[in-house]
A and B are shown apart, each in its own frame.
Chain A
Amino acid sequence: MDNVSRYGYINAKLRARIGLMMSSTILDSMIKAPNLNEAVAVLAGTEYDTLAEVFEKSADLQQVELELFSREIDTHKKIITALDSMAGDFVTLVLEKSEIENIRNAIRLWYSGAVLHHGISYRSAYIYKKKIVHDINWLGIINALSYDDVVSAFRGTVYHDVLKAYDEQSLASDGLFDLETDLDHLWFRRMFDGMDRLDRTDRDVAGEIYRIDVDLKNIINLIRYGFYHDVSSSRLSRVMLPYGLLYSQLKGKIEKGQLSMDDARLIITRKYPKVNDLFSKLQDRGQMGGGRTDLAYGIMGIENYLAQSRKKEFTSILSKDPFTIGTILSYIYLCKSMDNALKAVLNAKYYNWSEEQIRRELN
């Protein structure tokens, strides 16, 4: 099957939706709304009508977020059914990212109840419990009395081995960070393996996107854990994703514990020159004895820049060859961005943020 036949229909369909999404004034109207109730009411009669219905019935923002997540899963599944097995399998791998997000939420909930002994009562309702990609016993995780019960809820899935490598005691003492990192790594590994099964054009498009995606994640991890939290080199090596354009150049020095901020800056700015200024500011703050808050703001600046680069990357795909998997990945990204923006505005309204404050944070 050639790419025009493979992507002709779905490309036309998604581009029409992207056009609508780009021209939508929903977010602006929501930001202008004086409170949460009226912000949600803006969604009535739009393509997000179901969210308004959920809020009308429950008045619960987290239920609305669950509905958004459910829509996200449906969007992926509808795209998958419109594709042949090669492209469909790859989008299924993309969907696994949402599944991992749900796993993370479910395990955190279990951890909160079983390990930290906090009551989870109604909070179990905010976990998506239908099948996403793999047969995971979601109720089994939420109601697990021990970590072994949690692991058995994943029996027969690709996640089982990752979870099996941990025990309740280590989680209780070290927290969930390593487990969550391993799940992320698993996803990237499966993603890059899946990319090899695509045809050449799609492999190039997807590779371009995800290699940059990995680089951006690695830069954030490096700054956050390497320089801000100052974790050990072995721990930092574990966090870094072994893919992308930067990893091979950073790997050696990280492992030896010899990576200074200047080294990192040199390597990173070779590929991403615009990060240079942001790095300088970050270094200035560090050297001038700026407090942790100052550094945190500096890191946020870099993260924002990287997020913008990512957005630009995904949007620029739309002006390239339309008959590739790029349009689909771009649409999924834009949907996710819109969902995140909706969530951010609703939460900001819940905490009574001003219109200016919301606009500042969103940009």
Chain B
Amino acid sequence: MSLFTQKMKMLTAVVLDEYSDAVVKALLEEGVMDFVHISELDGEQAGRLSEHKSGTSVSAIDDLRVRCETLMKTGGISLPSISRSDLENLGTLDMSACRKMLDDLSSSLNSEREKQKNLNQRLISINEMLGYIKEKKMDYLDLRMGSIASGRSLDDFILRMTSLSAVIAEDGKGGLVSLSFRRDAQRVNDTMDKFGWTESASSDSKTGLEKASAALETRKADTEKDVSAILDEIAARIKKEETSLKKMWMLLRVSQLSEHVESFFSYTKNTTLFSGWVPADSAAEVESVILEASKGKCIVEWTEDSQLDRDKIPTSVSSAKVFAPFQKMVTNYGTVEYGSINPTPFTTIAYILMFMLMFADVGQGLVLLLIGIIGGHYYKKNPMAKDGLISRYLCSLLMFLGPASMVGGVLFGSYFGYSWLPALWFNYHAVVNGHAEGGLVQSVYDILGITIKFGIVVIYTGLILNWINLVRKKRWLELVFDKNGFVGGFMYAIGIYICYYFVDSGYRDFPPSALPYIAIAAALVMIVIKGPLYAMHKAKLTGHREKTGTVIVDTIMDFFVQVLEIFSSFLSNTLSFMRVAGLGIAHVSLMTAFEDMAQMTGNIFAYVLIMILGNVLVIAIEGLSAGIQSLRLNYYEFFTKYFTGNGIAYRPVSLKSRVVSG
């Protein structure tokens, strides 16, 4: 895992047109280049170049690829990965041949689908009838027993009756049983009359219904078997074309990616020009790949990041795969600016610590860990399974949160809400319930104090990370004068000192020394001079001087906004960490309440049941709350101090790229 974003270099290459395709394929296989349009680099030079003109419509390729993927999915064929040898042997894309093959396959499936539809409609009638029998809604059915006239074909009779959704069975005594919908009575009667149906004199309706039900069940099983056979046939027909479909998909995919890459290219009469960002540690490899693909007939130039505006350089951060859940939290917030600190390791530590303080219990943590392990195992075994309520992401997060909760439980002596072992730090339950003995933490106020101190540490960590970022970006003015720079940090420190003094004096006195107030006044002066300094700096950079009046008005406005922000945001950010204590206290209180309720029952089974239910509820509700609050504290209290999220994401194009925009 890198502490900072990866160093990037910009490649600009010129290759002969004839090697252009080979270079594209080589770069796709390498998959580390984030292409930029040449036109974005040098307007004058770009004017002499021509743009890529595609012979094939990218959307047409995409449509065919989607069709191909859909058919493969229906046939249970997984998408192949494309190797170097595949690239060499793929050949060229023939769109009309691809379209024809897909059309042929698709229309051969249509007839099967039509059969499936008819069978399904038959199943609907059967199920409706069976439903009425099961729910004893015999008012909707007509059960009749009798026989048809001799000389009339039984097969024809059954066929005609089946077309009326009726079922005919033998009654076991040489007669027939007919079961039909009463709503169809008129048409059933007409058919029966045609076949000379005579009702049986001695009819046992119970046996008749059993016979008809059995016949109906058999018909249902047969129909379901037929439907299943059709679905198998559909899958088999697609499977038969597996090799062709896979090859077609690869061709379409590579063509689509090539078109995408080539859309960044520019051309002279005989050469192709392209440019893009590559991580510095892959630069040598990319260069050798281009040289090899173009047989040495190319020119490759590298531009260092220091020579370009860093706001335009894409950001790549490398984090170990195991930290993926926290990397996702960072990505969801925004993209790190180039050259800044990678927030993932700090987010990991902060999130885990926050969760641990809010949800500290060995037993409940173990449950979370088990859910994470079982869920992860399930998704690993069923890679195609859709994410459920407990998603893949949640499972991987629980692998961290479970152990964190368990460590918290050991520190605070909590095991499924019981204090089975002595706490390593302090007994949370005893403190919250007011019977703490000895130790530094005696009341909930002490817990609130701990979380405020924890918040101060988190906020200062954020400020220090911001200072490091600003030093790396060489933004010296911001480093000194910004609310998250030295001035802000200094005022925050003085504020903390004054508040602690005030609390220590029993909420009566402020520090008697003039020093803290002089320090605050000095900081305020620095905020005042920030405006003119920024204006001078801007004038130096752009050559444009603001009017004095504008600078004065801006300075006054900025002063009030800045002071208000420093006081309100630092105060609210710090107090916000009291929620860590709040959630922890609520966790203990809920478990205590459940135990009290359980004890009131005076019954061991009820006691165990209530405690199990209590633990389940606490795990579900409190676990969710603690997770959300930890995320909130990271996003609003921690990230806002050092992480702007204004970076440009590094998006290399490779054979594994999932989405390619036109």
A contact set with B: CB distance below 8 Å: 29, 32-38, 41-42, 44, 56-60, 63, 113-114, 117, 119-122, 124-125, 139, 142-145
Contact = CB atoms under 8 A, between A and B. Distances in A.
Given A37-B113, A38-B67, A58 B186 contact: no
Contact of B66 (A29, A36, A57, A142): A29
Contacts of A35: 106-107, 110
Contacts of A119: 164-165, 184, 187
Nearest to B131: A139
A139 B106 contact: no
Contact of A59 (B116, B182, B186): B116
A41 B121 CA distance: 21
A337 to B, nearest CB: 25
Main secondary structure of the interface of A (DSSP, over half): helix
Given A60-B121, A121-B121, A143-B181, 9 more contacts: A35-B110, A37-B106, A41-B70, A44-B73, A58-B116, A59-B114, A119-B164, A121-B165, A121-B184
Contacts of A37: 106, 109-110, 113
Nearest to B120: A58
Contacts of A42: 66, 70
B137 interface: yes
19 contacts: A32-B63, A35-B110, A38-B106, A41-B74, A42-B70, A56-B74, A57-B120, A58-B117, A60-B121, A63-B120, A114-B183, A119-B164, A119-B187, A121-B165, A121-B184, A122-B121, A122-B122, A124-B128, A144-B183
Contacts of B182: 143, 145
Contacts of B539: none
B138 to A, nearest CB: 11
A145 B182 CA distance: 8
B232 interface: no
Contacts of B73: 41, 44
Main secondary structure of the interface of B (DSSP, over half): helix
A125 B70 contact: no
B546 interface: no
B113 to A, nearest CB: 4
B103 A60 contact: no
Given A119-B164, A121-B165, A143 B106 contact: no
A122 B181 CA distance: 11
A144 B164 CA distance: 17
Contacts of A57: 120
Interface residues on B, range: 20 to 34
Given A34-B103, A59-B120, A125-B124, A139 B74 contact: no
A36 B117 CA distance: 13
B125 interface: yes
B139 interface: yes
A145 B164 CA distance: 16
A283 B153 CA distance: 63
Contacts of A139: 137, 140
A36 B103 CA distance: 12
Given A58-B120, A139-B137, A121 B70 contact: no
B117 A60 contact: yes
A349 to B, nearest CB: 11
Interface string B378-409: 00000000000000000000000000000000
Nearest to B60: A32
Interface string B176-211: 000001111111000000000000000000000000
Given A117-B186, A144-B183, A122 B124 contact: yes
Interface string B110-147: 10011011001110110010000000010110000000
Contacts of B63: 29, 32
Nearest to A121: B165
Nearest to A142: B183
A113 B102 CA distance: 42
Contacts of B113: 36-37, 59
B186 A34 contact: no
B70 A44 contact: yes
A38 B70 contact: yes
A59 B117 contact: yes
A125 B126 CA distance: 11
A122 B183 contact: no
B66 A34 contact: no
B121 A120 contact: no
Nearest to B74: A41
A42 B66 CA distance: 9
Contacts of B137: 139
A176 to B, nearest CB: 17
B623 to A, nearest CB: 23
Contacts of B103: 34
A143 B183 contact: yes
A315 B2 CA distance: 49
B125 A122 contact: yes
A122 B140 contact: no
B233 to A, nearest CB: 13
Nearest to A60: B117
Contacts of B106: 34-35, 37-38
B249 to A, nearest CB: 15
B165 A122 contact: yes
Contact of A60 (B102, B120, B183, B185): B120
A19 B23 CA distance: 41
A56 B109 CA distance: 12
Contacts of A143: 139-140, 181-183
B103 to A, nearest CB: 6
A120 B124 CA distance: 12
Given A38-B70, A143-B139, A120 B183 contact: yes
Contacts of A29: 63, 66
Q: Which of B70, B139, B183 has the most CB of A within 10 A?
A: B183
A320 B423 CA distance: 58
A60 B119 CA distance: 10
Contacts of B117: 58-60
A63 B122 CA distance: 13
A11 B87 CA distance: 51
B387 to A, nearest CB: 12
A172 to B, nearest CB: 14
Nearest to A58: B120
A48 to B, nearest CB: 14
Interface in B529-576: none
